[in-house]
């Protein structure tokens, strides 16, 4: 019965995080457009940062409440889940195309960010200074994206964000409505993170599973559900290039923005996260890089490899930490 209650807390937290992020991004982006900021800038800043809001609120909440390992596990597990499960399932539905600029520019940045994150965490902690360093990295990357987008073709890039920003609503709806969406989104994210922590922590205690394992798997999966749902819909519409771009962007923001801000507020410690978890994240990132670099797409059998890798990691966690703890 208590396990069922914990699962209900997790479901409530996931729901609140999902709608909280949707409301925050919707309200903030439309408000920004109303004040004269272009859809291009809004898409590359407000929307990009807002879609990482669930992971950010969850990780900050875990760390501030004395669970730094769960904060790190949420990000590491989310990146592994995004690459292994989200891209794997999406590739099964349709072959995922990859834009050449993604391979030349964004994917190498993700590999470098993953290696830098691992080196920073090598001593078992991330200090405030290191957190600020990571966050500055995402600011530089965002600025670079803005400059490059304007130089290449601002109209074409901006068109990708116009549907997400909803220009018609931005021009016609009252400002108080945008403010209400932002406020509601922040409330939803705050309580969603709280409820996810209650459910995840309770489930770990009742099942005798280390909290780090819960964060690497169940909670990481929960915060990746929005990306999974969006990717499945995009796969059915044969929009593979959008999926790969969103996943790489999400992984990059997790490492630089989420971990950076979390550690800047309060230093992070590993707390149950093993080096093997970092190795798996690096391996998944490098394999993804190889797939995209050689074929400029992710085929169904390559998606199967990514999915098998994610399943294998979950099985490894069970025998390496859960079975041993029992």
Residues 6+ apart with CB under 8 A from 212: 69, 70, 73, 271, 272, 273, 321
Distance CA 123, CA 296 (A): 36
The DSSP bridge pattern shows strands 297-298 and 268-269 to be unpaired
Mean pLDDT of 132-148: 86
41 or 313, higher pLDDT:
313
Binned at pLDDT 50, 70 and 90, residue 167 comes out as low
Could you give the C-alpha distances from 285 to 84, 189, 280, in angstroms and in order?
9, 28, 9
**Residue among 316, 314, 312, 290 nearest 302 (CA):** 290
Query: What confidence tens digit (pLDDT) does each residue in 218-230 have?
Result: 888 888 877 787 7
pLDDT of residue 178: 76
Q: Residue 122 pLDDT more than 70?
A: yes
pLDDT (0 to 100) of residue 80: 95
| 63-109: pLDDT as tens digits | 998 889 889 999 999 999 999 999 999 998 888 888 777 778 888 99
Question: What per-residue confidence (pLDDT) applies to 97?
Answer: 80
Given this model, what pLDDT does residue 128 score?
95
User: How far, in Å, CA of 29 to CA of 164, rounded?
Assistant: 9
37-56 mean pLDDT: 69
Q: Which residue in 249, 283, 262 sits closest to 74, CA to CA?
A: 262
Give the residue among 17, 25, 316 at the shortest CA–CA distance from 193: 17
Give the chain's mean pLDDT: 82
Q: List, in sequence order, every residue forming a beta bridge with 268; answer none if it has no partner.
A: 126
Q: Is 158 left (phi over 0), alpha (psi -120 to 50) or beta?
A: alpha
Do 233 and 91 meet the contact criterion of CB atoms below 8 Å apart? no
How many domains is the chain partitioned into structurally? Answer: 1
Which domain does 271 fall in, by range? Answer: 2-325
CB-based burial, 165-181: b 16+ in 10 Å, e otherwise = bbeeebeebeeeebeeb
pLDDT, average across residues 254-265: 94
Residue 289 has pLDDT above 60, yes or no: yes
pLDDT at 110: 92
Per-residue DSSP letters for 226-288? HHHHHHHHHHHTT-HHHHHHHHHHHHHHIIIIIHHHHHHHS-EE-TT--HHHHHHHHHHHHHH
The CATH code of the domain that includes 226 is: 1.20.1420.30
Number of H helices, E strands in the chain: 18, 4
Work out the pLDDT band at 311, boundaries 50, 70, 90.
very high
DSSP state of 299: -
């Amino acid at each position: 019965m208590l396990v069922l209650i914990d699962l209900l807390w997790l479901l409530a937290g996931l729901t609140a995080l999902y709608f909280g992020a949707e409301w925050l991004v919707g309200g903030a982006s439309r408000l920004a457009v109303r004040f004269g900021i272009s859809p291009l800038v809004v898409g590359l800043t407000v929307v990009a940062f807002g879609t990482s809001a669930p992971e950010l609120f969850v990780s900050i909440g875990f760390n501030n409440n004395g669970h730094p390992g769960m904060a790190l596990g949420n990000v590491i597990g989310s990146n592994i889940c995004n690459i292994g499960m989200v891209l794997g399932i999406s590739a099964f539905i349709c072959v995922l195309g990859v834009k050449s600029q993604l391979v030349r520019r964004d994917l190498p940045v993700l590999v470098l960010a993953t290696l830098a994150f691992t080196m920073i965490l090598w001593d078992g902690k991330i200090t405030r200074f290191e957190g600020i360093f990571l966050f500055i990295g995402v600011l530089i990357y965002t600025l670079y994206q803005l400059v490059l987008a304007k130089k290449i073709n601002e109209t074409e890039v901006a068109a990708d964000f116009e549907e997400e920003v909803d220009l018609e609503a931005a021009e016609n709806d009252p400002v108080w409505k945008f403010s209400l969406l932002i406020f509601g989104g922040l409330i939803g994210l705050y309580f969603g993170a709280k409820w996810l922590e209650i459910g995840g922590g309770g489930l770990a205690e009742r099942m005798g599973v280390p909290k780090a394992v819960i964060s690497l798997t169940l909670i990481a999966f929960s915060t990746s559900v929005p990306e999974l749902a969006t990717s499945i819909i995009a796969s059915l519409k044969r929009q593979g290039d959008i999926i790969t771009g969103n996943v790489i962007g999400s992984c990059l923001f997790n490492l630089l923005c989420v971990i950076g801000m979390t550690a800047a507020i309060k230093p992070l410690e590993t707390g149950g996260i093993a080096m093997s978890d970092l190795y798996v994240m690096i391996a998944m990132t490098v394999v993804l890089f190889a797939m995209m670099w050689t074929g400029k797409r992710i085929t169904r059998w390559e998606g199967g490899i990514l999915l098998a890798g994610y399943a294998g990691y979950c099985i490894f966690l069970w025998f390496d930490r859960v079975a041993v703890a029992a």
